[in-house]
Chain A
Amino acid sequence: MISIVDYSVGNLNSVANMIRHVGGECCIAGDADEIASAEKLILPGVGAFDRGMEALRGSGIAEALSMAVLERKVPILGICLGMQLMTQRSEEGHLPGLGWLDAEVVKFCFPVGCKLKIPHMGWNTLSVVRDNPLILPEERQRFYFVHSYHVVCENQEDVVATCHYGYDFVAVFQRGNIWGGQFHPEKSHRFGMGVLRRFVEWMPC
């Protein structure tokens, strides 16, 4: 059973829809007790960093999540803002992040005269940089991205896959039971379904 964390930012229905579509079971977890008993977690989210952190802290969800993820080693997948919240901090806000791994979030920064628009919005490909159980090095897979900020990992071994927009940035990271993906698997057709199905099936050793 996957518990999708509800902290009133973002679109839980899409994630739940796709988990069920790939044969997984899921429920919505909106308070600390529900998270305390979760077996596997998804932290979705769209919107601003500080608003996300305020919502997590204000409801006591942040503490329950840290307990589950760091002490009980519950597998968790952060999606988009959910991934960014797992880091130490973000240029987008002032509040500290959950700080589960040594990484931070910065805004896309392009040289003057560069025509690339921000946000990075649309379908893009991944480069898998290390073997992992979630993102297979399939050719021609594409994922839906929409974000203005991206994660920078301090430890390169945490980086699972990168994406290119102006330059290479971290698209997926993993540290033990903690996974983060910048794209939206729930909006990425069968490519996203594959990722969510493998997360549903994943048993960390």
Chain B
Amino acid sequence: MLKHRIIPCLLLLNGGLVKTLRFKDPKYVGDPINAIRIFNEKEVDELMVLDIGASKARREPDFELIEQFAGECFMPLCYGGGVRTFEQARRLFASGIEKVCLQTAALENRRLITQIAEHYGSQAVVVSADTKKAWFGGRKLYASHTGKTLDISVDDFLARCVEAGAGEVLLNSVDRDGTMGGMDLDLIRETATKLSVPLVAVGGAGSLADMKAACDAGASAVAAGAFFVFHGPHRAVLITYPSYDEIEKFFGEAEAEYG
């Protein structure tokens, strides 16, 4: 039976790993290659690396660094950040990554989704939607490269991206990012029922119980940042990943329904 994927989501900024709190205050947490080696040894299900500075600065992906990452990974690797052209995506795939994650490009030029999907398959294109609680209830789409909320419905945006060829959706909630206080289960539930493609939920996971709750709400996979890089109440930097036994114990029941 299929297992729910548990995915460390690493944020890259100027070549170092950082972790944010509600998309702000990036705190340096270490060297990315070192972290990726540890996650590879821990046999993580999948790894996601997002360069949070690239689109803001209109910078290209750091191809050399990403190729090094791919060389260390014996599991699927997804890269996002600054991918705006098909040629950039081609270079990334050639260097050994499995999936590219698009947000700014998906907002500005959905044709890129189609181009990549037609050449490399839908499974190779992940679209990332960041959401923020609106003042009067509901959630709005948030553009991480400008830091502004948009007047576009999350569901419409995702539906159009999936129609364009996106094979997976990464759904984040800005208000939960880095808090480790639990995930936005209502958002996950509402979005997952409308999506035909797998949903990766991220934002707020602080325990395996939080992750299981997200999967029970309809997520196919859960990604997390702080949960894998911080330890204890003072958020000391320590890279961890639960053992397979722990995950199996926790997810046992959910897997039975899922598979």
Taking A119-B167, A122-B45 as contacts, is the C-beta distance between A13 and B96 under 8 angstroms? Answer: yes
Report the nearest A residue to B72, measured CB to CB: A17
CA of A186 to CA of B221, assembled, Å: 21
How far is the CB of A115 from the nearest CB of chain B, in Å? 8
- In the complex the two chains form, is B123's CB within 8 Å of A121's CB? yes
Across the interface, B2 reaches (CB within 8 A) one of A51, A122, A188, A189, namely A122
Across the interface, A123 reaches (CB within 8 A) one of B5, B74, B196, namely B5
Chain A neighbourhood of B168, CB < 8 A: 121
How far is the CB of B146 from the nearest CB of chain A, in Å? 31
A57 within 8 A of partner (CB): no
CA of A51 to CA of B124, assembled, Å: 15
Interface residues on B, range: 35 or more
Chain B neighbourhood of A48, CB < 8 A: 118, 121
- In the complex the two chains form, is A46's CB within 8 Å of B120's CB? yes
CA of A51 to CA of B95, assembled, Å: 21
Chain B neighbourhood of A124, CB < 8 A: 1-3
A197 within 8 A of partner (CB): no
- In the complex the two chains form, is A117's CB within 8 Å of B74's CB? no
Chain B neighbourhood of A13, CB < 8 A: 70-71, 94-96
Taking A46-B124, A51-B119 as contacts, is the C-beta distance between A18 and B74 under 8 angstroms? Answer: yes
CA of A119 to CA of B220, assembled, Å: 11
- In the complex the two chains form, is A17's CB within 8 Å of B96's CB? yes
Chain A neighbourhood of B3, CB < 8 A: 122-124, 142
Task: Kindly list 8 other residue pairs between chains A and B, CB separation below 8 angstroms, not including A117-B198, A121-B167, A189-B75.
Answer: A46-B123, A46-B124, A117-B196, A117-B220, A122-B2, A144-B46, A145-B2, A190-B74
Interface residues of A, Cβ cutoff 8 Å to B: 9, 11, 13-14, 17-18, 21, 46-48, 51, 117-125, 140, 142, 144-148, 164-165, 184, 186-190, 192-193
